[in-house]
Amino acid sequence: MASSKRERREFVKGMAFVSPWFIGFLVFTLTPMGLSLYWSFCDYPLTQPPLFRGLENYRVILHETDFWISLKNTIYYACMALPAGMCVSLGLALLLNTKIRGLGIYRTIIFLPSLVPIVASALLWMWIFNAKYGLFNEVLAKLGINGPNWIADVNTAMPSLALMSLWGVGHTVIIYLAGLQDVPTELYEAAEIDGAESFRRMWHVTIPMISPVIFFNLIMAIIGTFQVFAVPYMMTQGGPFHATYFYTMYLYENAFQNCYFGFASALAWIQLLIVVVLTAFAFWTSTRWVHYQGK
C-alpha cells in the first residue's frame, strides 16, 4: 500500500511538471489543428459563421490555376535549393572538420549568416541582386559580362532565390560537424592501412557513418523548402509574372488578404499531406542508404 501511495504521489508530481507543456500543446497546437481541419470542409469567410460544405473547397482548389502555379514553383525551388543546400553544407562541414589554424574563426564566419534576421537578409540580397548597382553585376561587369536582372527576370528569379538559400546553411553545417566528430578514428586508420585514398575514405567511411545525420537534415530540408514564405514575399511578392509565387504565398493571400479561412485551411492540409508523403518516401528509401552504428 505504501508503495502504491508513493507511486501515485510521484505520478501526480510528474503530471504537475508536464501539465504546462500539455496545456500549451492542447490550446495552441492540437485545438487549432482540429479547428482548421473542420474549417477546411466549410465555407468560412471569417465575418460569418462557418457553413459546412464537405469536399467543395478541395474540389475548387484542384481547378484553381494559381494552386498549380504555386505548387509547381515550390517544387521547382525545392529541386534546386534542397540538393544544393545539402551538398554545400556537407562540403563546408568536411572542410571545417580539418585541423588548420584559425578553424574557430572560419566556423564562426560560416555560422554567422544564419543568425542574421530575415528582413536584414532580404534587404542585403536585394542589393546584391540589383541589376544596376548590385555586387554580382558589378563583378560580372569587370569581367566584361552583362549581368542579368536577377530577381526581376522570369528566367533567373527562382534560381536567384535558390542561390540565396545557401546563405543560411550554418545551422546544417553545425549538425554535420557534430556527426563528423562522432566518426571513430579507428575506421579511418583501418581504411588508410588498406590503402584507401582520401576520396575513398570519405565515400566508404565518412558518408555511411554520418548517413543518419544526412537523413535528419534531408527531412528538415523537405519540410523547410515547402514552407518558404518570408524572404521571397519581401523580395519579389511572387513576381515577376508569378515566377516566384510560392504555395505559402497562395495560402497567405487566401487566409489573411481575402479572409477565406475555410479555403486556406484546405490549402494548409493539402500542404501537410504533400510534406507527409515526401517524408514517408524518404523514410522508405532510408532503409537502403542510412546505416546506424551497432546494426
Q: CA triplet 197, 169, 272: central angle to 5 degrees?
A: 115
φ, ψ at 52 (rounded to 5°): -65, 130
205 Cβ contact partners less than 8 Å away, ≥ 6 residues apart: 183, 187, 188, 191, 196
What amino acid is encoded at 53 in this protein?
R
For residues 33-59, give the mean pLDDT: 94
Identify the three-state secondary structure at position 104: helix
The 10s digit of each residue's pLDDT in 202-259 is 999 999 999 999 999 999 999 999 999 999 999 999 999 999 999 999 999 999 999 9
Which pTM does this prediction carry?
0.91
Cell numbers for 283, please give them: 523514410
Q: CA triplet 280, 284, 286: central angle to 5 degrees?
A: 115
Judged against a pLDDT cut of 80, whether residue 161 lies above it is answered with yes
pLDDT band at 102 (very low <50, low <70, confident <90, very high): confident
Tell me, rounded to whole angstroms, the distance of Cα 217 from its chain centroid.
Answer: 9
What own/partner pairs with CB < 8 Å and gap ≥ 24 does 51-60 have?
A: 53/262, 57/262, 57/263, 57/265, 57/266, 58/266, 58/270, 60/263
Per-residue confidence (pLDDT) for residue 194, from 0 to 100: 84
**63-289 has CATH 1.10.3720.10 classification:** yes
How many other β-carbons are positioned within 10 Å of the β-carbon of residue 182? 12
Per-residue confidence (pLDDT) for residue 192, from 0 to 100: 87
Domain boundaries, the chain: 63-289
Per-residue confidence (pLDDT) for residue 129, from 0 to 100: 95
SS3 of 12-51? HHHHHHHHHHHHHHHHHHHHHHHHHHHHCCEECCCCCCCE
173 and 147 Cβ atoms separated by less than 8 Å: no
Q: How far apart are the first and last CA of the chain?
A: 44
Dihedral sign of CA atoms 271, 173, 199, 191 in order: negative
Per-residue confidence (pLDDT) for residue 42, from 0 to 100: 96
- CA atoms of 74 and 82, how far apart (whole Å): 11
